[in-house]
Amino acid sequence: MPVVKDGFVYISATLIAGIVFLFIFNPLGMFILLLSLFFIYFFRDPQRKINRDASTVLSPCDGTVLEVSEESGHKIVRVFLSVFNVHLQRSPVEGSVKSVVYTPGKFLPADNPSAHLLNENNIITIESPKGNFIVKQIAGILARRVVSWVKAGDRIEQGQKIGFIKFGSQVDLFMPVGAKIDVKLGDKVYGGKTIIGRI
């Protein structure tokens, strides 16, 4: 199974340490090797066929819909990513990266109602012919780092990989107020596959 480059250091370190400890203290070595298998699973990068359509807004991530709301001229869909979800983020639309803004903060549990306000986060703003779309990567109690793979000025395709959050986390998608939302609270969504809305 392919894994993202950000996982190589975790996988290789635990794999090497696990093999070494097998000869020193077998139970610890086995535990570390199991941890290595978990990192391979967590940092997985499954192959997906992206159905690109300029009239749709694709989910930027895998997870469970926490909230669907409207505020400050945006439709907002908040998605919780458990430690078992794929943690890649993808662009919901085709466009150009207007800005990438990192903000340090707390590490509340990602499903905490205040997490999107107080936690460490990274805001990726994408300009498209249908308006501006914002993907907000939010760290959680286990996620201690949000990673952006794009920068201002980059041209990106719908469904393209744009970042990663290490361990349990939340992703918020801000859309123009005219967007029609296709998901509801509790829905399971998949990055680059599930249609979040239409515009």
User: What span, in angstroms and rounded, lies between the C-alpha atoms of 133 and 135?
Assistant: 7
Both tokens assigned to 97: 């990266």
- Known active-site residue 169: yes
The active-site residue out of 36, 91, 148, 169 is 169
User: What span, in angstroms and rounded, lies between the C-alpha atoms of 8 and 30?
Assistant: 19
Q: Hey, is 140 helix, strand or coil?
A: coil
User: What span, in angstroms and rounded, lies between the C-alpha atoms of 193 and 126?
Assistant: 19
Residue 142 main-chain phi, psi, to 5 deg: -100, -35
Q: Which residues are catalytic?
A: 169
